[in-house]
Amino acid sequence: MTHLVAIQSQDLLNVLDYNAVVIPHPDEPSMKLIVNGKFLARIIEGCNSVSIIILFVSFIVAFSGNVKETIIFTLSGSVLLYVVNLLRIVVLSIGLYHYPWRSGILHQVVFPGIIYGMVFLLWMFWANRFSKLTKKNE
d(CA 138, CA 134): 7
C-alpha 84/C-alpha 18 separation (Å) is 19
Please tell me the pTM assigned to this model.
0.86
Give yes or no for a contact between 111 and 85, defined as CB atoms under 8 angstroms apart: no
In whole angstroms, what is the distance from residue 95 CA to residue 74 CA?
A: 31
Instruction: Kindly report, residue by residue over 79-125, the tens digit of the pLDDT.
Output: 999 999 999 889 889 988 998 898 888 888 888 888 899 999 999 99
Backbone angles phi, psi at 43, to 5 degrees: -100, 110
